[in-house]
Structure 1
Amino acid sequence: MDVIQAYLNLVPVTLSQSLIYSFLVLGIMIPFRLLSFPDLTSEGAFPLGGCVCATLLMAGYSPLLATLAAILAGAGAGAATALVHLRFRINSLLAGILVFTALYSLNMRILGRSNVALFGADNIFMQINPAILSDVRLQVVTFAILIVAVLIALRWYLATQAGAAMRVIGINPDLAPSLGISIWTCTIAGLGIASGLTALGGALIVQLQGYADVGMGTGILINGLASLVIGETITGRQTVTRQLLAPVVGAAIYYQLVSLALSLGLQPSDLKVVTAAFVLVTLGLPMLRGRSALRETMRA
């Protein structure tokens, strides 16, 4: 009963956090699935959004302006990864590694120290409704409205000519030039949107928790991939709408599983290896099933 009660107490908190981290998972999904561009920039764009937002808040700027600046900074990081890949013909994974490695030093420069508290600074939640900071239910409602608005905007964009061109690049990049589609424009735009969403998640989590840390993105990529895998397993990838819903559904389930693991007594330091094992099993099962089915066919 103690385990169940501990888990139920954590459910609202982790649900609120999962809605924020949905922006991160969306930022991971867009390059991986829509552009077929394996990208690691999220590990640097997430703390970049938080550091930019925190620095501007401490300087007395409007929380809305600070949040928008964080989104633009994240979009710039994604565009930088795309340019490194396209201009220098560097592998997409290596380009992402180069950018997020450089972003660590940049984040230190922006923040001025490794971490900073924001307890005396204004934030966007205080401007909307100060009760959001203390009421988890209000947090869930607020973040749910925000993520729905973002999903609607993304669904609309992907239905436009520009969005369709981006999807064509992900499906068949060799065909794109013959259709008059600029690979440079679509890749830069796609990675910019993805990293901008990731930075938005970083800015929101910083304002909610009241502190920023340059290391807040460490290991966040594996959590996002685990959430994406879970979401795609449940929603599927047959349509654009399902693909957009997968990050939100996956993040909600993943962080509830984290709550359950903590309630069962698992140490927080063990969550990374459990997450890695889970992703490995989830990705490896289809291949193992395929081999098993092939053996059965050969025997028959």
Structure 2
Amino acid sequence: MSALAVAGAIEAGLLFSLVALGVYLSFRVLNFPDLTVDGSFPLGAAATAVAIIHGVNPFLATVIGTFAGCCAGFVSAFLNVRFRILNLLAGILTMVALYSINLRVMGRPNISLYGENTIFTAFEGVIDLGIWTTSAILLVFAIAMKLLVDWFLGTQVGLALRASGENPAMARAQSVSNGRMTIIGMSVSNALVGLAGSLFAQSQGVADVSLGIGTIVTGLAALIIGETLLGSTKVFWATLGCLIGALLYRLFIAAALSAGFLGIQAQDLNLVTAVVVAIAVILSQARRNSRFKFWPKMRSLLMDTQPQKG
């Protein structure tokens, strides 16, 4: 695999680590199976691209794309909390609606950003690492968002959000509004996804209405791989797992597509993705089961070795 292919895989991995962080908030913290990300990812890209071609500062355009994703998450949560629509269905409805909204926002299926000033061109005068420049910039974004999520989940609102996702009845007994926490958590989750879409459009030079296809699968794959490797539920390690999992996932995909002897071609990407996710889930379940079996065996062993009284 060439250095250019590795650099491209790392760029994609760092971008989708932001998606994995968003998926972590919705799936793991809130216990909300959210499919909105397949729509909020291209929404962030579309909003940012339209803003940039209309002369908006790239940094402000990135904020606009992030806010657009936040609004998408708010809609899904509002449908679930206010109208009691099943969380999975609420996400699907928002995702479907966002396809048309993204077309409305862009006015056409795709927008090219080639020749436009982006957030990456602004950093080129500060960081010049050749083909690794974009990766370095994205690494800064990924680490910053990871630390921001860590901080957020340690605040009173973050602790209430975690309690609401872990045990809604107990959280309600402690005067925590589960509905409000769902809205806040989903908004923050999809804001991260919108930011990922915004950075993706600027790094790749194009925003396309079909960018979101398979985004949720990629985010889940990164999350599960990270959990399998680190095996910790603590926030710091869980969010770090999102970054590591996304990088490993994209590197594995790039390696599989570059391995000519395997006969894998570009059209097999979805098949490779499905296989990787299935293997990650199987390994995660095997590790969890072995952990649960280990302690009962140790306890029985210790009890058998205790000296007999009398």
- Same fold, TM exceeding 0.5? yes
Which of 273, 277, 280 is equivalent to 2:278? 280
Match of 2:236 among 229, 232, 241: 241
Partners of 1:28 and 1:225 within 8 A in 2? yes
Aligned residue number for residue 181 of structure 1 = 176
Cα distance between partner residues in 2 of 1:245 and 1:197: 15
Equivalent pair of 1:125/1:133 in contact (CA under 8 Å): no
Of residues 268, 271, 291 in structure 2, which corresponds to 1:270? 268
Structure of larger gyration radius? 2
Distance 1:286 1:249 in 2: 15
Q: Residue 95 of structure 1: CA displacement?
A: 0.6
Deviation at 1:238, TM superposition (A): 2.6
Q: Give me the whole-angstrom Cα distance separating, in 1, the residues matched to 2:213 and 2:128.
A: 25
Unpaired runs of 5+ in structure 2?
A: 298-310
8 Å contact kept, 2:124–2:133: no
1:76–1:190 CA distance, 2 compared to 1 (3 A): same
Q: Which residue of 2 aligns with 1:143?
A: 138
2:87 is equivalent to residue 128 of structure 1? no
Native 8 Å contact 2:109 2:208 kept in 1: yes
Q: 1:11 to 1:120 in 2, by over 3 A?
A: closer
* 3-state secondary structure, aligned to 2:232: coil
In the aligned structure 1, how far is the partner of 2:285 from the partner of 2:196?
33
In 2, Cα distance between the equivalents of 1:207 and 1:286? 34
- The residue type equivalent to 1:21 in the other structure is F
Measure the CA separation in 2 of the matches of 1:189 and 1:124. Answer: 27
Q: CA deviation at 1:251?
A: 0.5
C-alpha displacement of 1:274? 2.0
Q: Does the 8 A contact of 2:40 with 2:72 survive in 1?
A: yes
Q: Aligned-residue CA RMSD in angstroms?
A: 2.1
Instruction: Provide the rounded CA distance (Å) in 1 between the counterparts of 2:111 and 2:220.
Output: 28
> 1:65 maps to which residue?
60
Paired with 1:244 and 1:124, the residues of 2 have a C-alpha distance of 25
Tell me the equivalent position of 2:300.
none
* C-alpha deviation, 1:160, in angstroms: 0.9
User: Are the structure 2 counterparts of residues 203 and 130 from structure 1 closer, same or farther at C-alpha, using a change threshold of 3 Å?
Assistant: farther
Q: Does 1:108 align with 2:103?
A: yes
The answer as to 2:199 corresponding to 1:204 is yes
Residue 19 of structure 1: which of 14, 20, 37 is its match? 14
Q: 5+ unaligned residues in a row in structure 1: which ranges?
A: 1-5
Q: Deviations over 1:111-145 (max 9, x none)?
A: 00001211132211122225869933222221111
Find the aligned partners of 1:137 and 1:245 in 2 and give their Cα distance. 21
Please list the CA deviations of residues 240-294 of structure 1 after superposition, one character each: whole Å capped at 9, or x if unmatched: 1111111100001001101110111321221212221232233245657859x99
35, 43, 53: which one pairs with 2:30?
Answer: 35
Partner SS, residue 113 of structure 1: coil
Q: Displacement of 1:161 after TM fit?
A: 0.7
| 1:71–1:200 Cα contact (<8 Å) kept | yes
Answer yes or no: is 1:217 the counterpart of 2:215: no
CA separation in 2, counterparts of 1:287 and 1:237?
14
Tell me which residue corresponds to 1:44: 39
Distance 1:76 1:69 in 2: 11
Residue type matched to 2:276 in 1? F
Hey, what's the Cα distance between the residues in 1 that align with 2:191 and 2:230? Answer: 24
Worse-matched range after superposition: 187-196 or 264-273: 264-273
- The answer to whether the 8 Å contact 1:131/1:138 transfers is no
The answer to whether residue 8 in structure 2 is matched with residue 10 in structure 1 is no
Matched residues in 2 for 1:261 and 1:17: separation? 15
Letter in 1 for 2:274: A
Runs of 4+ deviating beyond 4 Å: 130-134, 285-291
